[in-house]
Structure formats: structure tokens, C-alpha cells
């Protein structure tokens, strides 16, 4: 009976940590969405260069993302609007995969369609 209670406590603790991690990842996804919205607005206005404050914000957000493959040299803050948007979309994919490892990524969908 004591073993069962201990197991339930461990399971509850693990579930709680998973929920906290998922919420933390979701908050980073929302922050990236906000930044993407600002970048899309710049893009629609024809602005090509990312202002320094948005680059700094992007850098802080990218530090919170699980690291990509070591050979992925493109995962860094960019000075142009559209390339930075691409990096942020990739960051969101990494976050979605971290939150749900069984999730099929868009790259996997493209590979299976070939």
C-alpha cells in the first residue's frame, strides 16, 4: 500500500513537471508569435532590415529554444526581416517537437510526400 502511494506521488510530480514545461514552452511560442507579427508588419511596410530592439528580442527568445542540430549554422539572429522570420518559424517547430516529441514536423510531412 505504501509503495502504491509513493508511485502515485512520483507520477503526480512527473505530470506536474511535464505541465510546467509545456506551459513554459507555450509561453515562448506565444512570444515568438508576437515577434513574428511585428516582423510581418515591417515586411508589409517594405522594411528590409530588422531594428536593433527586435534583433535583441529575437536573440533572447532563441536562447530559450532547444538547440537545433549542431550542423545547423542558419539558426541565429538575422538582420533581414524575412530570413529572421524563417529562423523564428524553425524555432517554433523545435519548440513544438520539444513539447510533443511524437508530433510530425513539416519536414517529416515533406519527406513522406516525396
pLDDT, residue 14, reads 80
**Tens-of-pLDDT digits for all 114 residues of the chain?**
888 888 888 888 787 777 777 777 889 999 999 999 999 999 999 999 999 999 999 999 999 998 887 777 778 999 999 999 999 999 999 999 888 777 676 555 555 555
Note the helical H segments in 1-114: 2-44, 52-62, 81-99, 106-113
Q: Number of folded domains in the chain?
A: 1
50 domain-assigned: yes
Contact (Cβ atoms closer than 8 angstroms) between residue 64 and residue 29? no
Contact (Cβ atoms closer than 8 angstroms) between residue 63 and residue 95? no
User: How is residue 67 annotated by DSSP?
Assistant: P
43 domain-assigned: yes
Of 95, 53, 91, nearest to 75 by C-alpha is: 91
Q: What are phi and psi of 80, to 5 degrees?
A: -100, 150
Which pTM value belongs to this model?
Answer: 0.75
109 domain-assigned: no
Structural domain for 20, as ranges: 2-101
111 domain-assigned: no
| Class of residue 29 by CB neighbours under 10 A (exposed 0-12, middle 13-18, buried 19+) | middle
110 domain-assigned: no
Amino acid at each position: 500500500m505504501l509503495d502504491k502511494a509513493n508511485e502515485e506521488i512520483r507520477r503526480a510530480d512527473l505530470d506536474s513537471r511535464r505541465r510546467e514545461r509545456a506551459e513554459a514552452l507555450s509561453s515562448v511560442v506565444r512570444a515568438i508569435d508576437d515577434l513574428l507579427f511585428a516582423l510581418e508588419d515591417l515586411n508589409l511596410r517594405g522594411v528590409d532590415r530588422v531594428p536593433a530592439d527586435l534583433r535583441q528580442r529575437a536573440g533572447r527568445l532563441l536562447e530559450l529554444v532547444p538547440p537545433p542540430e549542431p550542423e545547423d549554422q542558419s539558426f541565429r539572429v538575422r538582420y533581414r526581416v524575412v530570413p529572421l522570420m524563417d529562423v523564428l518559424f524553425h524555432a517554433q517547430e523545435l519548440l513544438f517537437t520539444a513539447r510533443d516529441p511524437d508530433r510530425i514536423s513539416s519536414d517529416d510531412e515533406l519527406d513522406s510526400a516525396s
